[in-house]
Structure 1
Amino acid sequence: MTESVVAGSADIPVALPDRRIVVPALGVTQILAWGSSYYLPAVLAKPIADDTGWPLGWIVGGLSLGLLMAALISPKVGHAIERHGGRPVLAVSALLLAAGSVGLALAPNPVFYLVAWVLMGLGMGAGLYDAAFATLGRIYGQGARSTITTLTLFGGFASTTCWPLSAWLVSELGWRGACLTYAAIHLLVLLPIYLFLLPRQTHRADTATPAAGAASPSAARQATTIRDRLVLFLLGAVIATAAMISATMSVHMLTILQARDMTLATAVAFGAMVGPSQVGARAIEMAIARFHHPIWTMVVSAALVVLGLGVLWAGLPLTALALMAYGGGIGLESIARGTVPLALFGADGYAVLMGKLALPSLLLQAAAPSLGALLIHRFGTDGALFAILAAALLTLVMVSALAALAKRGGAVSRGS
């Protein structure tokens, strides 16, 4: 089935691909792509170290190298999706992730292992959220907001699905067999989904102007006015800083919790609240999104992260509430990073803009684990958590300024 829309100034009805096919298809691929790349070292790092004797720092460092490569190619990925649509780019991502997974499985030494992560990083840059959001924006134009929100619901189950799957594969096939299995999944599941369920997009979805007062579409690429440049700077800074906070906490959360006199089992139990909180917050957002502009989703996201980290740092006996608030905040952040640029700048040039915004975000994510370890080493867990809280407060200040700037132009007075 297809949807009919009016595209461009010619008022010619154009059939858009059915969201009920495209979004679940992309959702399945996002679960498997995230689970077999970004979340892979969480399960495989120790088995790899035990089997090979390679330094754990090298093993975990593979992910940072992958994120660095993803950052470097993200602008080119955005341009490619803008020009050709997401289908060919996502198909290439499946091939790259398959090749990287095979490389990991066959790696005879740490150097070859890191080379394999270069391929994994290229696949991540071409196949994870930013590329998927850009694909939806390219297909549905200004109407992509609801599809982006729904897609993040699927993505929220990546670790929940693939951590147990990876653990089972390691127990049955060993870590090398697990990597080969994921390579097969990329070739036999993800690649066919991209090729047969995503559209061969020759036309561009509607490029109607964004909400009144928002920056012009051309500003998404050129940022010619002072206001456009300030909006882009604040937007990029908010997305990048929020991503850094999330990446740092995902690596060091258990260490921080155990420093508060928790056993490992208790820390894991509390940490497990973050995932469901992400999904719950995204579900609420999906239900109420039509009533507000996406910038308010970003504001609430930042406020919840500050609340959660603040309660945790203060040592209040509200750990569960703190982690639920934090989880809800980072869950909403995943939505806002895709919907706010679309609402502020429109569909024209959206894929290019997403590629540009992904660059600093992925660079900070790549550095976040090492930066967090350095902070803990120098200042202890309390000092490190205070630094993370300070970054969250800065994010809240910046997103509040962004909302005020947009509201002054009338861009956030209604839903988008």
Structure 2
Amino acid sequence: MTTVPDATTDPAEMPRFPQPRSSVCPFDPSPELRDLTRLGPVGRVRSWGDTTPWVVTSHAEQKTLLSDPRLSVDFSHPGYPSPVAHSHGGGTDLSFVGLDDPEHARLRRMVSGTFTIKRVEALRPVVQKMTDDFIDRMLAGPKPADLVQALALPIPSLVISELLGVPYEDHEFFQTNSKNIVSATAAAEVRQAAHTNLADYLDDLVGQKLATPGDDLLSRLGEQIKAGELTRREATAMGVLLLLGGHETTANMISLGTLLLLQHPDEAARIRDTDDPRVIVAAVEELLRYLSIVHLGRRRTALEDIEVAGRTIRAGEGVILLGELANRDPAVFPDPDRLDLTRDARRHQAFGAGAHHCVGQPLARMELQVIYPTLFRRIPTLSVATDLEQVPFKYDAVIYGLHELPVTW
């Protein structure tokens, strides 16, 4: 194909989305997506259910559109591009992540104070101790170890549990259900059952906090329920969203980033051998840029006609904003396919942009800034215990990462 696919293109001639990543380069966007960027910043693809949403590949256009209120996150719109069918309307079962303003802003304000930089920084010594404790346990255990189960999954799970007021001893329950919710291949009834399980669990916890509040986010939401500012269902939905998002995404970044660094020992040494926190901060931003674990794009529906890069996205049409391509845009990041931990990567869109940027990004950044250097300093001989081709990547999930990471030392 030599022209950018648009509304006049036969759907049979449009490129497919999504396309599998290459097993030879599992850290990179698929070759087919990279080909699409060469045709222009905006085009059409043939996607789930033979729909033909627009895809936006360039950094500049994505940044603009992510702040455009004419694009809706509400997945109840018929044109919303999604790998799964949604039977519930209005997005409320996924809290503010599926709502537009003003409802999105109203609910988001109720939790955003928990994730301010000041509050998150106060947790840094706690996360440092957690990291050292879990590394101690891994070192005392058998080799090889699965880094996902030994470190990457438990630390963010424990952190978000303590912030929310969720008993960590229930981590296997919420991790299993979260995994099913973010699966792109699980049957609809499996995903729905997992969501119901988590919602029932969080609703019960909200009820407990209403009766006996503590010093945690669910208790503060309970106070807002009592004040008439929030319904119990809204509080439950926020609990599901934060519990799921607070551990699933960071866990995948920990394991995927560790594997990437093990493939680039000179870059890993930058993290291991420095005492300068600015070096660690820059390294984490570059890892976020390079890996871009939001696997299937940020998806929207146009509420009005929108002109973008000489194309017209019509009202009702679906739009997929591909952050992994924005983060490899050579106009913003020279030599973008090279991992360079000294790069100024702060303009990346790993956390999105605009009103719907990730509310928990300060927490995720802090956790990664603690875990990567601690792991490589504590275990300088860390290595992958299998061939890269044998590592099970999460090609089957909406959040990219690893199912397992066998390591030794």
The answer to whether TM tops 0.5 is no
Q: Which has the higher strand share?
A: 2
Report the TM-score when normalising by structure 2: 0.30
Q: Which has the higher helix share?
A: 1
